[in-house]
Amino acid sequence: MDLSCFIERNAAFTPGKVALHFGARSLTYAAFAERIAAAARALKSVLGVGRGDRVAILSANHPYYLVLLYACARLGALLVPLNWRLAVPEQLFILADASPKMLLLQDAFGELVTALNEQHPDIRIFRLADNGPGTFETLLIEGQGDDRNPHVDLTSALLLVYTSGTTGRPKGAVLRQEALFWNAVMSQHMHDLTAADRVLTVLPLFHVGGLNILTTPALQIGASVTLHARFAPDATLDAFGAERPTLVVLVPATIQALIEHPLWPRTELASLRAVTTGSTQVPQNLIAALTARGVPVLQVYGSTETAPIAIYTRIGGDLNRPGSTGLPGLCCEARVVDETGREVPPGTPGEVVVRGPNVFFEYWGNAAATAEALREGWYYSGDVGTRDADGYFTIIDRKKNMIISGGENIYAAEVERVLHEHPAVAEAAVIGRSDPKWQEVPVAYVVRKAAVSADEITRHVSAQLARFKVPREVIFLDALPRNALGKVQHFVLRQEAARRS
């Protein structure tokens, strides 16, 4: 049995029920299951996709994102979702590392094609478009024969999701099908999710948050999902009234955009049973804005490596612990430990570690990083938190120098790597500065070895990294603060940035 079997079962029970809404289109469960089978047949017969092969997609949210996911599950292949906010050099690194047989590409991101054809001509590219040569639709028509591979089950790898690299390069986290299955069980527990629910998905499916907090759990249980290509405040507020969703996942930046919109006070929210949020510490004023409208706010903690659900509050549970992200999930364990791996007393800060069937299997081709993150079955998150006497977790800091801006993860080392490539930069350090709109934005501290302006440096970074990773400010110093071992003291820079803001 593989993960696509849940779509088949739902199609058998309720063939005419809508699985996916997308704009003016709808896919029933029966049609969804047929598309999955056709995609699997085409991938296998035309492209020779077998167990362990990779299939990549670069697209805004679209039903074929999910068709491709479940087709890969059927074949024992791995889907590689690409973040469309990344710059072309970042995309090329991931594609070189993952070596997919195929890339499904939306026309809007066609700037990648020329470089990809030059550097990786063996990767077959298909367009995500309604018609025309070289489209995914034409590939589906060409498929023949069997739509399954042998020896595929829930232990087979399914997702290869790249996380921003703490060492300056992204790492590919491998999630098995069983990780998504148990993640869905926890989502169902968290949300009291049933087939009667209507889920609105506005966050990008290239993140496990948009894909797995509610979308795949809803399809596993037989609910209906409305997909938006991208988050837009107007469209989301319109959907609250027109689609009447019961559940939605939003990050703090998107909640902020909604409550600041002029239509917010007049938007009908009565259908919402809850809004789920996380990705970073959630400001209390955002929670208050939703609860004042009668909408409970659920919090979830996790990461790409936990599929992502690990710790959460739930409908009907205790939502009156400000700052807390909840209890360990129904199907996993979580602890707070010291540097030796021993659990610390309640209220004592330490590193949050997670163990369970939702935890990733390995980092793709990176045994050293895998061994560092996975120890005796526990995933060491790099996040610092506390656990109170009742078992509730609060995340208070990030051990890794990660910046979360508008729900996107930015690792300081990744930006620092690019800064150090500039010939006029002697040293560089990047930290996150508090921002009222994005929660945090990156700020660079630079020691020069030759004359260079801040604008020149930001242009250099813009050519290599996504816009959201480009420092909002470049501050020149004579020297970076360092400890006795020579390590840069990022916390000193954060304190300095707080004084300047």
Of 204, 206, 225, the residue nearest 214 (C-alpha): 225
**Tens digits of per-residue pLDDT, 73-90?**
999 999 999 999 888 999
| Per-residue pLDDT, 395 | 87
| Per-residue pLDDT, 149 | 94
| Per-residue pLDDT, 347 | 94
Who's near 24: CB < 8 A, 6+ residues apart?
none
**Tens digits of per-residue pLDDT, 126-138?**
999 877 789 999 9
pLDDT average, residue stretch 67-74: 98
Position 428 in a domain: yes
Does residue 468 carry a pLDDT above 80? yes
Instruction: Output the pTM of the full model.
Output: 0.87
In contact, 139 and 128? CB cutoff 8 Å: no
Using pLDDT thresholds of 50, 70 and 90, give the confidence band for residue 282.
confident
**Cα torsion angle, 25, 31, 36, 40, sign:** negative
Q: Is 366 helix (H, G, I), strand (E, B) or coil?
A: coil
Using pLDDT thresholds of 50, 70 and 90, give the confidence band for residue 494.
confident
Exposure b/e, 281-315, CB count within 10 A at least 16 = b: bbeeebbebbeebebbbbbbbbbbbbbbbbbbbbb
Boundary-marking domain end, from 101, 121, 153:
153
Lowest average pLDDT, out of 189-193, 203-207, 481-485, goes to 481-485
Lowest average pLDDT, out of 25-29, 247-251, 278-282, goes to 278-282
Q: Please report, for the domain that includes residue 141, its CATH number.
A: 3.40.50.980
Q: What is the span of the domain harbouring residue 416?
A: 404-500
| Per-residue pLDDT, 280 | 65
pLDDT average, residue stretch 49-66: 97
Boundary-marking domain end, from 153, 185, 204:
153
The mean pLDDT of the chain is 93
Hey, which bits of 30-74 come out as E strands?
A: 54-58
Of 362, 334, 331, 374, the residue nearest 350 (C-alpha): 334
pLDDT average, residue stretch 92-121: 94
Position 413 in a domain: yes
| Per-residue pLDDT, 396 | 77
| Number of separate domains in the chain | 2
Position 110 in a domain: yes
Of 317, 319, 278, 288, the residue nearest 439 (C-alpha): 278
**Tens digits of per-residue pLDDT, 384-415?**
889 999 999 998 766 667 788 888 888 787 89
Position 424 in a domain: yes
Boundary-marking domain end, from 96, 128, 153:
153
| Per-residue pLDDT, 397 | 65
In contact, 199 and 215? CB cutoff 8 Å: yes
| Per-residue pLDDT, 484 | 44
Does residue 70 carry a pLDDT above 80? yes
